[in-house]
């Protein structure tokens, strides 16, 4: 069933490609980073299967291997289902752009062209949705999960921090800052899940986690997410200019966290995580990562303040306008909005230097990241303090702690007084 669905989806996709050649739209463009990462993962998976799990014709798979293959096919279709939904949403956004007369005149295609693609993509999405619904999540029960390498998490976290600092030093860009910020969100959320499991199993102080550490980690992830959104709006949707080693290090860290925390289609229970990895050791690894997060935020702030950063003119103009409006929210000015970018650069959407007002605002937002990261670092230090157990004082122990009374003097023989 899965094979037939994939073949039908492939046929529908080829038909859309032929139509694109005939109409000239959308034509070649930038690479969407998430879809590019999915494509790279599929290519790598295909290569690994061909190299290590190839089999001669006539030799069948064992029952566990067949169950794992079925689970893999379902995950592939689920990924394609999400991708087709994203493409449909993008087409809807493109169609909405025709509501603006100025935008409509600048477009070289018609609304009818977009509607035609929408209908075709909707067909792909519905077909994949039907196939996924038939097996999700029960078919994932047979998914193979090998033993977790106990050193993978620490090694991947160390490699990520190293590559992040190298990228900031050697290839600073809005794209580099966006990738680092977004991956920090994933790392902090995943690490928080491990620490929460440790707290539930009382490997660390549950009340300390509930009152201090948990809220601090959530706040730190929230601030990194805000920084990621700010950098993403200035970054072209194309990963070709981003350091490949940085992207790979981020993927490896996310994979190391996922293999511990995922159980089929849901998050693994704390007990399952504890079976896969030493949660006490994982909290030590995460403590070091939280310290690194604060240091990485400071390096990012230095880049935001001093590095020669450029970005496409249109998003730069839009972001700078939003910054100045926030700065002068109480100032009423009926004059036209100021322009920080030349009309020619705006028309070509050329890469331009970031205006000083925008730079200062971005650096300030990373200052909020640093503050939250420092708070999380302080709270995480409690994970490494082993509380001194209070003595268990029952009645017998209390008696043993008393100064014994003097022994009575031996009675001498003789008459009583």
Q: Give the pLDDT band (50/70/90) at residue 226.
A: very high
Q: Give the pLDDT band (50/70/90) at residue 390.
A: very low
CB 324 within 8 A of CB 357: yes
**Where does a domain end: 83, 107, 142?**
142
179 and 244 housed in the same domain: yes
The pLDDT of residue 239:
56
pLDDT higher than 90, residue 101: no
Question: Which position has the higher pLDDT, 321 or 67?
Answer: 321
What number is the average pLDDT over the span 135-142?
79
Least confident of 46-50, 83-87, 129-133: 46-50
The pLDDT of residue 384:
57
How many domains, in total, are found in the chain? 2
pLDDT higher than 50, residue 142: yes
125 and 162 housed in the same domain: no
**Where does a domain end: 124, 142, 160?**
142
Torsion of CA 158, 161, 162, 167, to 10 degrees: 160
**Where does a domain end: 109, 142, 175?**
142
pLDDT higher than 80, residue 289: yes
Question: For residue 138, what are the domain limits?
Answer: 2-46+61-142
215 and 257 housed in the same domain: yes
What number is the average pLDDT over the span 300-323?
90
Residue 323 inside a domain? The answer is: no
25 and 161 housed in the same domain: no
pLDDT in tens, 228-245: 999 998 987 665 578 889
Give the number of other CB atoms < 10 A from CB of residue 102: 7
193 and 93 housed in the same domain: no
pLDDT higher than 60, residue 385: no
What is the 3-state secondary structure of 80-131? HHHHHHHHHHHHHHHHHHHHCHHHHHHCCCCHHHHHHHHHHHHHHHHHHHHH
Residue 269 inside a domain? The answer is: yes
pLDDT higher than 70, residue 17: yes
pLDDT higher than 80, residue 273: yes
Give the number of other CB atoms < 10 A from CB of residue 75: 16
What number is the average pLDDT over the span 266-291?
93
The pLDDT of residue 336:
46
pLDDT higher than 60, residue 194: yes
Q: Give the pLDDT band (50/70/90) at residue 214.
A: very high
201 and 89 housed in the same domain: no
The pLDDT of residue 114:
86
> Hey, what are 97's tokens?
């752009």
> Hey, what are 404's tokens?
């014994």
Q: Give the pLDDT band (50/70/90) at residue 386.
A: very low
Residue 348 inside a domain? The answer is: no
295 and 175 housed in the same domain: yes
CB 260 within 8 A of CB 268: yes
Least confident of 105-109, 242-246, 289-293, 306-310: 105-109
Residue 250 inside a domain? The answer is: yes
How high does pLDDT run on average in the chain? 82
242 and 373 housed in the same domain: yes
Residue 361 inside a domain? The answer is: yes
Residue 410 inside a domain? The answer is: no
189 and 134 housed in the same domain: no
What number is the average pLDDT over the span 316-331?
79
- Coil, helix or strand for 55? coil
The pLDDT of residue 391:
45
pLDDT higher than 70, residue 29: no
What number is the average pLDDT over the span 287-297?
93
Residue 340 inside a domain? The answer is: no
Backbone angles phi, psi at 64, to 5 degrees: -60, -40
Residue 114 CA to residue 108 CA, distance in Å, equals: 12
pLDDT higher than 60, residue 397: no
Q: What angle do CA 316, 319, 320 make, to 5 degrees?
A: 80
80 and 160 housed in the same domain: no
Residue 42 CA to residue 48 CA, distance in Å, equals: 10
Residue 21 inside a domain? The answer is: yes
137 and 263 housed in the same domain: no
> Hey, what are 245's tokens?
């080693």
138 and 159 housed in the same domain: no
pLDDT higher than 50, residue 64: yes
Radius of gyration of the chain (CA): 30
């Amino acid at each position: 069933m899965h094979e037939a669905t994939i073949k039908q989806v492939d046929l529908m996709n080829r038909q859309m490609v032929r139509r694109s050649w005939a109409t000239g739209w959308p034509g070649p463009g930038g690479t969407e980073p998430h879809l590019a990462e999915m494509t790279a993962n599929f290519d790598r998976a295909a290569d690994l299967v061909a190299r290590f799990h190839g089999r001669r014709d006539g030799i069948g798979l064992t029952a566990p291997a067949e169950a794992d293959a079925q689970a893999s096919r379902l995950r592939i279709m689920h990924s394609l289902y999400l991708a087709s939904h994203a493409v449909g949403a993008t087409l809807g956004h493109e169609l909405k752009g025709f509501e603006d007369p100025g935008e409509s005149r600048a477009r070289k295609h018609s609304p009818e062209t977009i509607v035609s693609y929408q209908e075709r993509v909707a067909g792909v999405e519905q077909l994949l949705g039907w196939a996924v619904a038939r097996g999700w999540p029960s078919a994932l029960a047979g998914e193979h999960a090998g033993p977790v390498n106990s050193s993978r998490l620490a090694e991947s976290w160390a490699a990520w921090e190293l590559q992040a600092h190298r990228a900031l030093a050697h290839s600073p860009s809005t794209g580099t800052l966006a990738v680092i910020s977004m991956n920090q969100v994933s790392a902090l959320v995943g690490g928080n899940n491990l620490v929460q499991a440790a707290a539930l199993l009382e490997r660390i102080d549950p009340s300390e986690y509930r009152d201090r550490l948990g809220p601090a980690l959530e706040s730190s992830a929230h601030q990194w997410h805000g920084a990621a959104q700010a950098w993403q709006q200035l970054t072209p949707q194309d990963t070709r200019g981003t350091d490949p080693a940085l992207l790979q290090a981020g993927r490896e860290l996310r994979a190391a966290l996922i293999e511990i925390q995922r159980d089929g289609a849901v998050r693994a229970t704390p007990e399952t995580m504890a079976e896969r990895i030493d949660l006490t050791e994982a909290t030590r690894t995460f403590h070091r990562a939280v310290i690194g997060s604060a240091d990485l935020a400071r390096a990012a702030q230095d880049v935001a303040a001093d590095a020669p950063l450029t970005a496409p003119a249109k998003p730069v103009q839009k972001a700078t306008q939003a910054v100045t409006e926030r700065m002068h929210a109480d100032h009423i000015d009926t004059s036209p909005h100021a322009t920080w970018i030349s009309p020619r650069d705006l028309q070509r959407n050329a890469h331009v230097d970031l205006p000083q007002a925008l730079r200062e605002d971005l650096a300030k937002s990373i200052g909020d990241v640093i503050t939250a990261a420092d708070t999380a670092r302080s709270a995480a230090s409690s994970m490494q303090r082993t509380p001194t157990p209070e003595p268990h004082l029952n009645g017998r122990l209390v008696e043993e702690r008393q100064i014994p009374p003097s022994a009575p003097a031996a009675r001498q023989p003789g008459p009583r007084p």
